[in-house]
């Protein structure tokens, strides 16, 4: 799945992950390091399974667990209007 940030959304690296600013609403969203890694992979054109595999490898977590969290994260990013596919 190819995604991109909406034009009104800014992204910045933070000490513990990534921060997104929705300039339409003024709301900030903070993603932890694993969430930031998933988002980075997807924004770079990677697939969700590739992002899941990398997070599972880096953080030594079962891929099934990472997949559930990644699906939820992606759903929230889309439903909040931060990204488009």
Position 42 scores a pLDDT of: 96
The DSSP code sequence of 50-82 is HHHHHHHHHHT--HHHHHHHHHHHHHHHHHTTS
- Write out pLDDT tens, residues 13-22: 999 999 999 9
The domain of 79 spans: 4-84
Position 1 scores a pLDDT of: 67
70 pLDDT more than 80:
yes
- pTM of this prediction exceeds 0.75: yes
29 pLDDT more than 90:
yes
Position 85 scores a pLDDT of: 83
State mean pLDDT over 41-61. Answer: 96
Count how many domains the chain has. 1
φ/ψ of 56, rounded to 5, equals -60, -40
6 pLDDT more than 70:
yes
């Amino acid at each position: 799945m190819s995604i991109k940030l909406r034009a009104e959304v800014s992204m910045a690296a933070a000490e513990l992950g990534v921060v997104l600013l929705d300039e339409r609403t003024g709301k900030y969203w903070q993603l932890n390091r694993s969430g930031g890694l998933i988002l980075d992979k997807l924004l770079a054109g990677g697939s969700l399974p590739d992002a899941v595999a990398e997070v599972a490898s880096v953080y030594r977590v079962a891929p099934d667990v990472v997949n559930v969290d990644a699906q939820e994260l992606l759903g929230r990013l889309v439903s909040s209007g931060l990204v488009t596919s």
